[in-house]
Chains A and B, each alone.
Chain A
Amino acid sequence: MTAVISFLEQLGGRATGAIHRLGFASRFLLLTLRSSGMCFRRFSLVVREIYFAGVLSLIIILVSGLFVGMVLGLQGYDTLVRYGSSSALGVLVALSLVRELGPVVAGLLFASRAGSAITAEIGLMKATEQLAAMEMMAVDPIARVIAPRFWAGVISMPLLAAMFSAMGIFGGYLVGVRLIGVDEGSFWSQMQAAVDFHEDILNGVIKSVVFGVAVTWIAVFEGYDAPPTAEGVSGATTRTVVTSSLTILALDFMLTTFMFRGA
């Protein structure tokens, strides 16, 4: 009997704990947005964070984009050639990258490359009481530390997703046209006929902005909320990657149902 009760207690504790954290995270986001005036007046703070979150993610994004595009080219050709429509390879590669793979895979990579670093940095700052020291010096740690990182992530993410898509289409072109020998003219012209700027490209950009907000919000919050111990920081870093990956996939499903329904 006591086992059942303690199990129920644990379950309830978990549930209320999660909702408590969600409420705290929402308040935290609101506070970050409200105190982000300063980081636009001192934009060099954001530039520094864009360097760490964006520029240093460049290599992994570009290389993965190239390989994802190349695989899409190979597999897409393999399927399309059965229906005698291998000239539609460009459409397949471009649409799948611009609509889904670009924002989603770039978001997942961004979460594990930059999100985890943000969490670890902020968590360690908290553990070594740097944030508390800032408060002692009347420097608002949310305006000075959190907001620049948040905006840097929001700015970097759409750019990285666009690079991923562009690189992927180039990879598909390399494999499809250069290696397999699909006709170059129909590869590009069919792609241009099928990809709509508003429907496909802008919606992809909107997706990547949403993912950027979600990933960096989770990353800065997990760092800020991390228990100030070595274990706490490592747990928070893991949680950032897991939570933001799941959030990206769930958000992607929701956004897709809104954007591309009935297309």
Chain B
Amino acid sequence: MMKRKALDLWVGVFVAIGLGALLFLALKVGNLATFSAAETYLVKANFDNIGGLKKRAPVKSAGVVVGRVEDIVFDTENYEATVAFSIEKRYEFPKDTSAKILTAGLLGEQYIGLAAGGDTAKLKDGDKLKITQSAVVLENLISQFMFNKAAEGNKDTK
């Protein structure tokens, strides 16, 4: 009987280490800790171009994460992208808040940046943001820059 007990102890230790490793992965490596169970409300916004925005991308205001992108669909009426994102209930925003798609760093992931407006009425669940700014598409920027350069070059040679 003694032997069986020693064995049980080792198996217990093994299972405990395994569950500990899973917990470590969930809390320290993954973002489960930032998954607050806080209540959220859903806000929509239309964008001409969302660039590389993905589901579950962060929504930030003044650099602080206030929510996450929940859904991205193509709106066949306006030929625009409709992005639905949730904001935590404790963060209230004015009705005329504007949304921009920004990039973290030069090549980083894209996120939605919210800039509060001056309206006294607050955003409610299901509201749609009116003022939006699309993602910067690098190719458009480069082609603009090249056209300008080409125009300048013509002037110089003349």
> In whole angstroms, what is the CA distance A94 to B26 when docked?
12
Q: Tell yes or no: B21 within 8 A of A by CB.
A: yes
Which of B17, B21, B30, B58 is A197 in contact with, Cβ under 8 Å?
B30
Q: Tell yes or no: B157 within 8 A of A by CB.
A: no
> In whole angstroms, what is the CA distance A161 to B49 when docked?
41
Which range contains the number of A residues in contact with the other chain?
A: 20 to 34
Is B28 touching A162 in the complex (CB atoms < 8 A)?
Answer: no
> In whole angstroms, what is the CA distance A201 to B30 when docked?
7
Contacts of A167 in B (CB 8 A): 21
Is A55 touching B29 in the complex (CB atoms < 8 A)?
Answer: no
Which of A47, A48, A50, A169 is B29 in contact with, Cβ under 8 Å?
A169
Is B32 touching A159 in the complex (CB atoms < 8 A)?
Answer: no
Shortest CB-to-CB span from A241 to chain B, Å, is 23
> In whole angstroms, what is the CA distance A225 to B45 when docked?
62
Contacts of B150 in A (CB 8 A): none
Interface of B is mostly: helix
Is A200 touching B18 in the complex (CB atoms < 8 A)?
Answer: no
Contacts of B30 in A (CB 8 A): 98, 192, 195-197, 200-201
Which of A47, A191, A192 is B7 in contact with, Cβ under 8 Å?
A47
Shortest CB-to-CB span from A89 to chain B, Å, is 13
Shortest CB-to-CB span from A55 to chain B, Å, is 5
Contacts of B7 in A (CB 8 A): 47-48, 51
Shortest CB-to-CB span from A51 to chain B, Å, is 5
Mask of A167-211 contacts with B, CB within 8 angstroms, 1/0: 101000000000000000000100111011100110001000000
CB pairs A–B below 8 angstroms (28 shown): A44-B4, A44-B8, A47-B8, A47-B11, A50-B14, A54-B14, A54-B18, A55-B10, A55-B14, A58-B17, A98-B25, A98-B30, A159-B15, A159-B22, A162-B18, A162-B21, A162-B25, A163-B18, A166-B29, A192-B30, A192-B31, A193-B58, A195-B30, A196-B31, A197-B30, A197-B32, A201-B25, A201-B26
